[in-house]
A and B are shown apart, each in its own frame.
Chain A
Amino acid sequence: MLPSRAMTGKAVGRSVPRREADAKLRGQARYVGDVTMPGMLHGATVRSQVARGRLRAIHFGPEVRWDEYVVVTAADIIAAGGVNTVALIVDHDQPALVGIGDIIAHREEPVVLLAHPDPHALEPARRAIRLEVEPLPAVLTLDDALAARTVVYGEDNVIKSYGIDKGDVDAAFAAAEVVSEGVYETGAQEQLYIENNGMIGALEGDVVTVWGSMQCPYYVQKGLMKCFGVGPERARVVQLETGGGFGGKEEYPSILGIHVALLARKAGRPVRILYDRGEDMAATTKRHPSRTRVRSAARRDGTLTALDIDFVLDGGAYATLSQVVLSRGTIHAAGPYSVANVRVRGRAMATSTPPHGAFRGFGAPQSIFALERHLDEVAHKLGLTPEALRRKNFVTKGGELATGQLVRDDIDLGALLGSALALADWERKRTDIAAERARSGAPLRRRGLGLATFLHGTGFTGSGEKYLASVVGVEGMADGRVRVLASSTEIGQGTQTVFAQIAADALGVDMADVEVATPDTRDVPNSGPTVASRTCTIVGKLVETAAHTLRARLVAAGLLPADGGGDLRAAVQRHLATLGPLRALAQYEAPPYVKWDEGAFRGDAYGAYSWGVYVAEVEVDMLTYEARVLDFVAAQEVGRVIHPVLATGQIEGGVAQGIGWALYENVVWRDGVMSNNRMTDYIMPTSEDIPPIRVLFAEAPYPYGPFGAKGIGELPMDGPAPAILNAIEDALGVSIRRIPATPEVIMDAVEGAGASNGDGAGAGAGVAGAGVAGAA
């Protein structure tokens, strides 16, 4: 892999019009709900309805004419010689459908699939199916999972564990001047993309094909291949216009893809399943809830000498992606600090809820929340400002992170912090707030300021990118333009635009000369999943490399001048006419310095990091305990910014989503399932609740990203929650250690109510029980 030339083209760095926008703005973009096929049936899913049990029988009520329906059960998979599984990272994890005699591991397990020409005929049929289930004890809380009196996974409910060990933590604690400790909890969060999950399946000859809303076409293909027992040439996956994903369409479409394909095979006709919002919210994945115990040792001057972190995720009923979410969360747990002695224990536990899964940030927001909340408590204890404590401990270029990775990024966190505080008008607001506090006895509103500093690894963790070995192609087309071939999906973030910018500048042509193919596993190579902030920096780099290779070929053939310039269209056409097809591929190679030891969890966890300093100003209404974010500053170093408007949009969107996670979005669990699975009751902030978000980019080009770009998509999810909760502590003088900090939680914190709260949903169980104490 060659470092990018730090050259500037015509497209990169400019906010060119977004390619995807035109069709969307004109209402011409066609989502799966807009697509019908001749003879298409409508499908629906019958789900388990018990948190845990063994399926004994399926009864089809006499009130329905079943011969009108296509009915698929697990038996159909087996009868066709397939394997009843949804292959993801692990081949045998969750079944595609629960079969008779099998374990039901959560309330939303698919058991029967139905299809009918009339979509309205599905609901009565769904209700006419009765499942006979032998109930089994379920594990409904993280505490129960940890206690392991009831075991629902493996021997002890542990799906996966990881550890980081650096230095001598015990000795550091023994010698510590100040020890602090706290337990921090984060709730589940629903991705709440605008478009629910939906897919169409059909048989094209002997090829199983699915079309739909997704992030990762090759994941869906892998699932189809395993379940249907076919090779890649007989499983085709095509992405349709996708209305958002945020991780929620990373793994779930693998299940849905199998379902529509099973129905289509049995029906001999195309079948479409569209989830409605209620089903999508209850049955599909959400952000892993977490609980993190942070213990720190510090000198009185604020130098952190040791961190001892126990990081626990609730993985839900199956392994799915929990192991990789856990690894990212574990690695990010120690933050952007240089601490000599670090121990992190990460565990993903199984419970009897639908599996938790990918969501922007992928474990990092959870562990970063814990550390950044904890550091404010430590600062208060030491009589330092939060910014002073962080300055004292920031890792610098050449410094060492928890895994022993040396920082190569050209990062100056102190300077980034300075810029963020200046933009936030931190000092003046501090003074104003101090004056307000001095004035009135019991003000109706209390203001506070908070910040969080953090990092986010670019691309897959550890050896992930090496293992994926992604490939991107660039090919010449008959009209002389070139086409980028990648399986990376456009899901609202601007993939097509950014790839076209990169390819155009690498080739030295106009963006109009570049087309970006729609992902279709028949036509595009596997450039990996659209996840992990990797599309621009990792896949974009491959686009750049493939484009350079294509150009070099034309130069070698004497069709373009070696020193740049020339008429690419003419050169491509001449190549096609005289020399045949023109296609260049690029495959991922790690930067040469990257060394990762998966067993010891040591080394270069990521090729690079993006870095952030976020500042929140919050006001708490003392009549209603509502916290409102008044102002927000998001400063980050992300390498080269390819498209300023899109990049800013990513930050603003991530901050809004972070505000939702911090203050509003509360998944209410009843019997192992989300009971507020409606947008009326699952409260996502609206524009009325989101403050002005002021975005600042520092750019230190990363030699192994395209034109210097690093990852950006997930970073903005990491900072808002701790910055906001730190501001709430500043406003109220009490530390709240759990999110969402709904008004109910804040009220209990203000009143020091402890766990005496009812089981009311607004507050979640246990409210501020562990939450409302200063550092121990």
Chain B
Amino acid sequence: MRSRVEDFELVRPRDLGDALARLAAEPSLRPLAGGTDVMVLLAAGKLPWKRLIDIWGLVELRGIEVQPATVTLGALTTFSEVQEHALLQGELPLLGRAGAETGGPAIQNRGTIGGNIANASPAADTPPALLAYDAEVELASAAGRRWVRYRSFHTGYKTTVMQPGELITRVRLARGAGRVHFYRKVGPRRAQAISKVCFAGVATLAAGRVSDVGIALGGVAPVVLPCAQTEAALRGLSLAELAGALAGATATLSAEIAPIDDIRSTARYRRRVAENLLGAFVAEISARG
């Protein structure tokens, strides 16, 4: 432990209103949710924020609500809760698959969706699934609430549209049945690993065609990356056309991503694996057709 815990202060709000009021009064306060990212920085002596606000107890940010057309997750929904939820398993299974591959059980019990989004790591594992499903994120501050499309949330490496004083409160996803879901986390080992590449894909089939498709990747750009051009290359194709379109779609994907060499992998590897996983996703769509 390279930090001295006494150097840090934690404020505990009564409820969401109190939390937003305190954040409005002191915009440099930083939320502490499950703490699974914050505690790592603390232990390494690298936590830049001296004052934190503990939102873990805010019941307003908990729970999974199912409506006729959508599912809404509180920001504090943990990876364990996501995996256990029957409707998510059936209609939005990529969330549970990502959750199951996030850290180990202790992290899954404590780590939250809101924290995973706000932490804004380009290698986070649930965000690609949220992007593929085209989720929306609710931001709240003392001044009010707003919904933003998650696809426009991350603006650059570790930068987001969140304003000082704002909290992530909820995440909303459209429901859907009978879709093809594909998820593959590629880390340096089978568990307890940071992704080198993470691929999430969802496709809706109607009348022998790919009527809609969502594709997003982690680990291949400064942000978790929705791949709109690759989606466009596949959207509307008939199943028979898919195989022939793969080479073109792969080239599109390759142009869309911007992987780098770093301590964990190489740009070449990330690019090739991303391409291969697109091929596997397309093969899965074809097989289901």
Contacts and interface: CB of A to CB of B under 8 A. Distances in A.
Contacts of A628: 190
B258 to A, nearest CB: 14
Contacts of A444: 280
Contacts of B14: none
Given A683-B188, A760-B269, A762-B264, A120 B4 contact: yes
B196 interface: yes
A693 interface: no
Contacts of A688: 189-191
B119 interface: no
Interface stretch (B131-139, B155-163, B245-253, B270-278): B270-278
Interface string B158-188: 0000000000000000000000000010101
Contacts of B263: 668, 675-676, 681, 761
A760 B267 contact: yes
Given A624-B273, A742-B188, A747-B272, A758 B193 contact: no
B45 interface: yes
Q: Is the interface of B mostly helix, strand, loop or mixed?
A: loop
B268 interface: yes
Contact of A758 (B4, B192, B196, B266): B266
A744 B197 CA distance: 12
A757 B269 CA distance: 10
Contacts of B194: 680-681
Given A664-B189, A742-B188, A623 B262 contact: no
B190 A762 contact: no
A422 to B, nearest CB: 29
Given A624-B276, A676-B263, A760-B261, A743 B269 contact: yes
A744 B268 CA distance: 8
A664 B188 contact: yes
Given A664-B189, A762-B196, A123 B265 contact: no
B193 A761 contact: no
B2 interface: yes
A276 interface: yes
A623 B191 contact: no
Interface in B1-23: 2-4
Contact of A761 (B190, B191, B261, B276): B261
* Most chain A CB neighbours (cut-off 10 Å) among B186, B194, B268: B268
A758 B189 contact: no
A123 B45 contact: yes
A663 B251 CA distance: 30
Contacts of B269: 625, 743-744, 747, 760, 762-763
A-B pairs, top 8 by smallest CB distance, nearest first, are A760-B266, A760-B261, A688-B190, A762-B265, A120-B4, A623-B276, A683-B188, A688-B191
Given A668-B263, A675-B263, A762-B269, 18 more contacts: A623-B184, A623-B273, A623-B277, A624-B273, A624-B277, A664-B189, A681-B263, A689-B190, A742-B188, A747-B272, A757-B266, A758-B266, A760-B266, A761-B261, A761-B263, A761-B266, A762-B196, A762-B264
Interface of A: 120, 123, 276, 444, 622-626, 628, 664, 668, 675-676, 680-681, 683, 685-686, 688-689, 742-744, 747-748, 751, 753, 757-763
15 contacts: A444-B280, A625-B269, A628-B190, A681-B194, A683-B193, A743-B188, A743-B269, A744-B268, A747-B273, A758-B266, A760-B261, A760-B262, A761-B262, A761-B265, A762-B196
